[in-house]
Amino acid sequence: MRLEGKTAFITGAGSGLGREAAKLFAKEGATIVAADIDIEGAEETIEQVENAGRDGTALELDVQDADAVHAAVDEAAAEFGLDIMINNAGISHGPAAVEDIDEAKRDRLIDVNVKGVWNGCHAVIPHFKEQGSGAIVNTASLAGVIGAPQLGAYSLTKGAVVNFTRTVAAEVGPSGIRANAVCPGVTDTPMPRKGQTDAEWEATKEEMARHYPLKRLGRPEDIANAMLFLASDEADWITGEALVIDGGFSCS
């Protein structure tokens, strides 16, 4: 197993990409710390991890709260050790022109998507430096690489995650720490389908898939597999990368 004996701390683990990563990492031998502002979602994730025969714990965590993130990471490191940090918690907003996005909405996206990643890295780096190893994987987005009209605030935050990841990689590489980002295209998770009925979402997926060379949207496992690779020793000489996972959208 690729993560045998390792512990992964995953934010936003209560649903979507975070839950899929937790399940896959557990299957590959990792102990899972599933953190989410939605504690019930995190507990459901850990139930699935434990049903697969692995250990894990669920934490209620708001990644905007730097002190809380530090305390949670410190506690996890003390109890389990810590080898992998997946800064995955994030939010988006509905389609809107830049001039129509109010400051409160913009600031909330910055607080969760940017400060949340900063807080996770800030908390875990001292532990990784002390042991001389560690892997960080930050969830960015295709919107952070090529931009996305009508998603200005979201694109702003995810572009920041991409560049911050590169900065972290250059800074902490000499300490044996790697940092990479995944940049998914539209993926079939609760975030993009928010507010749509099942029938509406199926119609949306069908329409959007027409713009992808592979003729489908991403599945959570597509992104989790990339996270697994970047977190594993197989990617031991890969750092500072923003891995685009988009079914060919950006090249079409």
Q: pLDDT tens digit string along 71-125?
A: 999 999 999 999 999 999 999 999 999 999 999 999 999 999 999 999 999 999 9
SS3 assignment, position 93: coil
pLDDT score of 156 more than 90: yes
Residue 61, both tokens: 């965590």
- pLDDT at res. 17: 97
- CA distances to 14, 22, 75, 244 from 180, rounded to whole Å, are 22, 18, 24, 11
Name 154's bridge partners. Answer: none
- CA end-to-end span of the chain: 36
Alpha-carbon dihedral of residues 204, 23, 125, 62, nearest 10 degrees?
60
How do the residues of the chain divide into helix, strand and coil, expressed in percent and rounded to 5? 50, 15, 30
Instruction: Tell me whether residue 154 is one of the annotated catalytic residues.
Output: yes
Give percent of the chain with pLDDT exceeding 90: 90
- pLDDT at res. 154: 97
Residue type, 135: A
- pLDDT at res. 92: 94
132: DSSP letter: T
Q: Where along the chain do its domains lie?
A: 7-242
- CA distances to 53, 113, 224 from 144, rounded to whole Å, are 37, 11, 19
Q: Of 154, 164, 212, 249, which one is the catalytic site residue? A: 154
pTM for the model stands at 0.96
Chain centre to alpha carbon of residue 193: 18
- pLDDT at res. 101: 97
47/79 Cα distance (integer angstroms): 19
Structural element, H or E, at residue 177: strand 177-184
Encode pLDDT of 175-200 as tens digits.
999 999 999 999 998 888 878 888 88
- pLDDT at res. 55: 92
Of the CA atoms within 13 Å of residue 126, those in its CB half-sphere come to 9
Task: Given CATH 1.25.40.340, say whether it is the number of domain 7-242.
Answer: no
Greater confidence (163 vs 94) lies with: 163
Encode pLDDT of 207-232 as tens digits.
989 999 999 999 999 999 999 999 99
pLDDT band at 24 (very low <50, low <70, confident <90, very high): very high
- From the list 45, 107, 115, the residue with the least C-alpha distance to 87 is 115
Contact criterion met (CB below 8 Å) for 56 and 13: no
Contact criterion met (CB below 8 Å) for 169 and 239: yes
